[in-house]
Amino acid sequence: MSFIVDCRTCQYEATNGPLDFTKTNAELARKTGLSKDSIRRHRKHTMGTVEQAIAYDQEFVDDKHDPINGSSYTRMAATAWGENEWREFLRAKGTDPDTVTFTFGVTSNPHGGYWNKLLNVRPKPQPIDETVDWAAAAKFIEGFTYVPAKRDHLVNTAILQPTDEQWGKTDFNGGTVQTEERVLNSYAAFADYCREYRPRQIALLRTGDGIENTCSTNSQRDTNDLDLPHQIVQSYKIDLQGLAMLAPLAEEVIDARVTSNHGRWRTGLKADAGNPHADFGIAVGRQLEDTQRVLNVLPNVRFLFPDALMESMTVQLDTIRAGMTHGHLASSPDRMGDWWAKQDHGRMPTWDADILFVGHWHSMRIYQSGDGRWVVVGPASDNGSSWFSNIKGERARSGMLAMAIEGKRWRFQEIL
């Protein structure tokens, strides 16, 4: 029998004589001070013939009985064993093979024959009714009745983010008629959303670009289907319809809006006039506020606007503070977090908000910013942007973002 000089077990045999392979690996390890793994490897590679190997195959060959982590067995044989051989083996061990799950494999022995391995022998899972004594379990809760706390409202606030309707714009998805259908469907879907989640408070966070305007690009005068005065009329009409649909569904409704680039009053192509609040979206909000005051309608609606000369704001909701800005003040949606960090450092209007709502970028995304704060970029309600799709090959889903606030958590978000 040859041996490898750098094998510790071989070195032991060279000095102390051959090991008695009728003993188990564990017994030999205790006697020699060698590891069981070293003896196991030596046993595999020093058996001269298959007959010798099988003759040595008493109960010493890797039998591990572990009902939790899975039992395993290794057997030397002249042939490779399959499922039938292992099932017979399990029966010989006193285990019904139909009551367990297992896997098996095989490796060849350098001196002939095969090392057959049976792995992960575990009892099959039993139906819960057969393993749990429900009568005994019931004794632990006898006399105890759970009374759920009364909840008039399932969530604190339901948020809807109407943004970038861009009334008057025509593109992939049509013109004003199609936009009106899409926007009113979003309000109707949000009404169903509120009936399901029963908020105490509804917040309409309008992040701008309610109209298309006529001085943002050279093509607008030719592609729009509404002139500027009628864009404003359309925005007022649909915003009022949305409020009328939603006001009966909560104790309080907040209508908050910020300035935007398409909403700016301009005297020429991108030629802004007036201060930052010379904005048609703000003007429509002021008209709605006057309608409420003069006609005494929608008494539970509260209108909010940014402070003088500011283009962002923070709205105190029931349990969180929601920041708002249109989004045109940063170079990309992914840079809004950087913009917000600088606003925080400068103690600007959104500095202490828990979550920031942004429009402008026409494609929904939500990402974390800073310590547990979130930037929410809402989808647009407009008719698409063919110029963008022709460059990027992408189109975003149109609609409005709905989100529920429960405590400090936001959840149940979807595009309506």
Residue 18's contacts (CB-CB under 8 Å, 6 or more residues apart) are: 1
Do 159 and 378 touch, CB atoms closer than 8 A? no
Per-residue pLDDT at 200 exceeds 70: yes
Q: Report the range of poorest mean pLDDT among 43-47, 91-95, 138-142.
A: 43-47
Q: Say what the pLDDT of residue 3 is.
A: 35
CA 289, CA 292: separation in Å to the nearest integer?
Answer: 5
The amino acid that residue 380 corresponds to is: A
Separation CA 84–CA 105 (nearest Å): 13
- Of the listed ranges 37-51, 56-70, 256-270, 345-359, the least confidently predicted one is 56-70
- Which CATH number describes the domain made up of 155-415? 3.60.21.10
Q: Cα separation of 19 and 12, whole Å?
A: 9
Asked if the model's pLDDT at residue 313 lies above 80, the reply is: yes
Q: Is residue 68 predicted with pLDDT exceeding 80? A: no
pLDDT at 130: 67
Characterize 14-49 residue by residue with b for buried, 16 or more Cβ atoms within 10 angstroms of its Cβ, and e for exposed. eeeeebebebbbeebbeebebeeebbbebbbbbbee
Scan for tokens 């139906």, then name that residue: 127
Q: Mapping DSSP to helix (H, G, I), strand (E, B) and coil, where does residue 415 land?
A: strand
How much is the pLDDT for 11? Answer: 77
pLDDT at 269: 86
Q: Of 150-154, 168-172, 302-306, which one has max mean pLDDT?
A: 302-306
Residue 241 pLDDT greater than 80, yes or no: yes
Task: Show the beta-strand stretches assigned E in 258-332.
Answer: 266-268, 271-272, 301-304, 312-316, 321-325
Q: What angle do CA 126, 129, 133 make, to 5 degrees?
A: 110
Q: How far apart are CA 26 and CA 36, in angstroms?
A: 6
Domain boundaries in the chain? Answer: 1-46, 53-127, 155-415
CA distance linking residue 191 with residue 246, whole number of Å: 6
Burial 311-336 (b: 16+ CB within 10 A, else e): bbbbbebbbbebbbbbbbebeebeeb
Cβ contacts of 352 within 8 Å, gap of 6 or more: 314, 321, 344
Residue pair 351/371 in contact by the 8 Å Cβ criterion: no
- Fill in the DSSP letter of residue 97: G
Place of tokens 């966070």: 205
Answer whether 91's CB lies under 8 Å from 105's CB: no
**Which of 340, 329, 356 is closest to 205 using CA atoms?**
356
Cβ-based burial of 285 (10 A; exposed 0-12, middle 13-18, buried ≥19): buried
Provide the 8-state DSSP code for 84: H
User: Is residue 4 very low, low, confident or very high in pLDDT (cuts 50, 70, 90)?
Assistant: very low
| Bridge partners, residue 159, by sequence | 203, 403
